[in-house]
């Protein structure tokens, strides 16, 4: 049996398991960029991560002279930098992998010279990375004091909100911030809340300490009637994908010879304009053709081409069936701030408030 564990091929195969631990740390680094960590069961989570880390450490110490383990021992420390900065304070999650990373780095089969070089690199990486992060957050941090006085979730659980009070030199303000919880990653012991997609649905000056937040679940048709009751001229701007859903033309193109055509977005983006010698001289290019969607506004004007977007349309022109096609559920959450409606799920979906493409990944 001892010969089996001493066999180099046994160690090489077992060393592959260390890649799984590195992948776990890499996944944590990825999540730290896009999500905030909320620990629901601190003790249980810490025990689970510690158990996995101890097993991984035993495996890596056993295979410490294998190339894969040596590589993992180098990769773990830089992978942990982002989680340490972004999840700072969540020590039950961070300390076990940090301890494993340090132990395997110093006890791996790398030569002393390599350890010295890589150790110096990682030390500088951590020092400079931490310095840059904390200087940046301190530099752009507001001088005002903001306190969260109320928070909760909508009746359907699709949104979470927070009411904040900010004290400043202008008598302060009260703000209601809304976030979508549908993009969160919820696990038994922790929840990763998507960041960079918050929406201020109400800001009131001066500061108002008497705030009542109410949620209702309202019907799509009723909301349409409410909005059109305010104004029949309410307009919405759809994106190309939404125009495709409705099978509507997204662009109107007028050419220099007076021809006009309305096009679906795919057809518009496929248009290629041939350039004559005069056109090339006018534009100062050697190209014989150019895609219309790649032309600047100035170039289109020189060639006498006009492009008009048809994506802005009146809400009154959309049927209830159209709204359903755009992905608006029949019923959803509406928020009232001191009796006044400040958020409708209907508008959030149409205007893509919480579309992942709008995510702001600033470090602040």
- 241 Cβ contact list (under 8 Å, min separation 6): none
CA angle 208, 214, 217 (to 5 degrees): 150
Q: Which two tokens stand for residue 153?
A: 């979730």
The secondary structure of residue 66, as a DSSP letter, is S
Distance of CA 186 to CAs 179, 193, 345, Å? Answer: 15, 8, 22
Look at strands 235-237 and 312-314 and give their pairing: antiparallel
Q: What pLDDT was estimated at residue 362?
A: 56
For 107, 183, 214, 235, 262, the CA distances from 151, given in Å and listed in that order, are 48, 18, 12, 32, 48
Q: What is the tens place of the pLDDT at every residue in 193-249?
A: 998 889 999 999 888 889 999 999 999 999 999 999 989 899 888 888 889 999 999
Own/partner long-range contacts of 250-255 (Cβ < 8 Å, ≥24 apart):
250/309, 250/310, 250/311, 251/307, 251/308, 251/309, 251/310, 252/307, 252/308, 252/310, 253/292, 253/305, 253/306, 253/307, 253/308, 254/305, 254/306, 254/307, 254/308, 255/304, 255/305
- Please state, in angstroms and rounded to a whole number, the distance separating the CA atoms of residues 343 and 223: 11
What stretches of 168-263 adopt beta strand conformation (E)?
Answer: 173-180, 185-186, 190-194, 199-204, 213-219, 235-237, 251-254, 260-263
Domain ranges of the chain: 2-140, 145-235+321-358, 249-309
The SS3 call for residue 301 is: helix
**DSSP-derived pairing of the beta strands 272-274 and 289-291:** antiparallel
Rounded distance between C-alpha atoms, residue 150 and residue 175, angstroms: 11
Cβ-Cβ contacts under 8 Å for 291 (sequence gap 6 or more): 269, 271, 272, 273
Residue 172 has a pLDDT of: 86
Q: Which regions in the chain score pLDDT beneath 50?
A: 364
Nearest CA to 63 out of 26, 16, 101, 105 is that of 16
Mean pLDDT of the chain: 90
| Predicted pLDDT at 338 | 93
Helix residue ranges per DSSP H, 215-317: 220-230, 240-245, 265-269, 277-283, 297-302
Distance between CA atoms of residues 295 and 221, nearest Å: 41
Q: 154, 310, 140, 294: which is closest to 217 by C-alpha? A: 154
Q: Which of 78, 162, 69 is nearest to 110 (CA)?
A: 69
318, 220 contact by CB (below 8 A): no
C-alpha 92/C-alpha 122 separation (Å) is 23
pLDDT per position as a tens digit, 318-349: 999 999 999 899 999 999 999 999 999 989 99
- Tokens representing residue 138 in the block: 């301190």
Closest listed residue to residue 175, CA positions, set 206, 154, 153: 206
């Amino acid at each position: 049996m001892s010969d089996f564990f001493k066999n180099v091929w046994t160690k090489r195969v077992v060393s592959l398991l260390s890649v799984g631990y590195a992948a776990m740390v890499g996944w944590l680094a990825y999540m730290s960029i896009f999500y905030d960590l909320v620990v629901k069961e601190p003790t249980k989570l810490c025990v689970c991560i510690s158990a996995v880390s101890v097993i991984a450490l035993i495996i890596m110490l056993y295979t410490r002279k294998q190339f894969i383990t040596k590589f993992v021992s180098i990769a773990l420390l830089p992978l942990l930098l982002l989680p340490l900065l972004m999840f700072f304070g969540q020590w039950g999650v961070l300390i076990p992998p940090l301890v494993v990373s340090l132990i395997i780095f110093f006890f791996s089969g790398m030569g002393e010279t390599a350890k010295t070089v890589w150790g110096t690199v990682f030390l500088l990486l951590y020092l400079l990375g931490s310095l840059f992060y904390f200087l940046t957050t301190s530099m752009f941090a507001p001088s005002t004091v903001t306190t969260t006085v109320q928070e909760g979730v909508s009746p359907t659980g699709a949104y979470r909100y927070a009411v904040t009070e900010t004290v400043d030199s202008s008598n302060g303000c009260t703000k209601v911030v809304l976030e979508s919880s549908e993009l969160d990653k919820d696990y038994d012991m922790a929840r990763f809340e998507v960041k960079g997609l918050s929406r201020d649905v109400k800001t009131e000056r001066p500061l108002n300490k008497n705030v009542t937040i109410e949620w209702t679940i309202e019907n799509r048709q009723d909301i349409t009637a409410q909005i059109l009751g305010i104004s029949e001229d309410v307009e919405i701007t759809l994106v190309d994908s939404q125009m495709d859903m409705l099978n509507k033309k997204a662009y109107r193109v007028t050419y220099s010879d007076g021809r006009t055509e309305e096009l679906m977005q795919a057809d518009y983006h496929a248009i290629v304009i041939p350039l004559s010698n005069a056109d090339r001289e006018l534009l100062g290019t050697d190209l014989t053709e150019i895609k219309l969607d790649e032309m600047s506004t100035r170039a289109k004007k020189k060639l006498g081409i006009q492009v008009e977007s048809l994506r802005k349309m009146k809400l009154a022109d959309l049927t209830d069936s159209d709204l359903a096609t755009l992905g608006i559920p029949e019923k959803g959450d509406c928020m009232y701030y001191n009796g006044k409606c400040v958020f409708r799920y209907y508008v959030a979906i149409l205007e893509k408030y919480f579309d992942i493409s709008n995510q702001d990944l600033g470090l602040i």
